[in-house]
Amino acid sequence: MSDLLSRRVFLTSTAVGVAATRARDIAFPMRPARPLPPASRWASKPVAVASANGLRAVQKAFDMLMQGADTLDAAIEGVKIQELDPNDDSVGYGGLPNADGVVQLDASCMHGPTKRAGAVGALEGIKTPSEVAKLVLKYTNHIFLVGEGAKRFALQYGFKEEDLLTAHAREVWLHWRANLNPDDDYLDVPEAERMSTRPTGTINCDVVTPQGDISSVTTTSGLAFKIPGRVGDSPIIGAGQYTDNAIGAAGSTGRGESNIKVCGGFLTVEFMRRGMKPTDACLETLKRVVQLTEPRLLGPDGRPPFSLNFYAVNKRGEFGAASLYPGRFAAHDGAEAKLRDTAFLYERPAASR
């Protein structure tokens, strides 16, 4: 282990009281924080990996790992930063709404040490669906709750129902609706103000502790202006994320429907089980996506025009990410939290660079 990590462990191991205090601030923790073993006895290199919007998430998650926090607690406290950020219109509070102007959120998580999973879909009125997914994992014999039932479940545990549609998200939705059909009752917005895309966005975070325990979480507001009730890959165990504590974890952001068809989170972990490094496993999963993409969704060059990204960590703390086209991801490998380039299958067309 590096001198940096050894010094970090020494300092944090002598601050158990501080760690325990911070653990008490976590809602429904999987377990209390506990001292880390000496660096010489670490089973894995600790790491936190996330999508490109997760720079703050990996910093938070890694700091918590060094305080002895549970692997899933660290991952969820990381992604909550984006869920609570009204300026991230792809996740949680501030997420872009469905076609009716209602924000519906999805999330799932897996806890490697206990081999448990939890998920919520089409959840309305709750800012942090990742926390609700953890409650499903921790306190029920179920895995997936949806819609009104998921909201009632969250309210029973003290979550506050709130209006998630921010002024920015409302304005974006109104612009989209105004230009949806030139023959409807809404006046078109001037060309200069028109939206040209249907934004997608998500945050995935995968974490490995020094003890070699692994967890993953994915949370999203889903495809903007989706059909009400649409659920993408994020809350689907094995698609939006997947963890096997003996092997590793993987998650995804991008076009959910394409990921669901290949069970991309699960498939990436299976490629690592066969001996592939995380980056190679992510690339192999993307190749499977392309193979199973319907012709109607391919461009004239035979390539998918949509976005899809995979992120992965293995038991040793090795990590990587890959995307259809050049992209970035966030990682904290013990030195610093920073954005890195993904591996990719295709160069972007010259017109879109």
Residues identified as active-site: 197
Cβ-based neighbours of 229, under 8 Å, separated by 6 or more = 104, 122, 147
Query: 3-class DSSP state for residue 193?
Result: helix
Q: Cα separation of 179 and 324, whole Å?
A: 30
Query: 3-class DSSP state for residue 223?
Result: coil
Q: How many helices (H) and strands (E) does the chain have?
A: 10, 13
- Give the residue carrying structure tokens 């495809």: 223
Question: Where do the H-state alpha helices sit in the chain?
Answer: 3-13, 16-24, 55-66, 71-83, 129-139, 147-156, 167-178, 256-260, 264-273, 278-291
Q: Cα separation of 319 and 215, whole Å?
A: 13
Phi, psi of 116 (to 5 degrees): -115, 160
Cross-strand bridge partners of residue 321: 311
Q: Cα separation of 107 and 251, whole Å?
A: 12
CB atoms within 10 A of CB 35: 15
Q: Which two tokens stand for residue 277?
A: 């490094």
Given a contact cutoff of 8 angstroms between Cβ atoms, the answer to whether 52 and 200 are in contact is: no
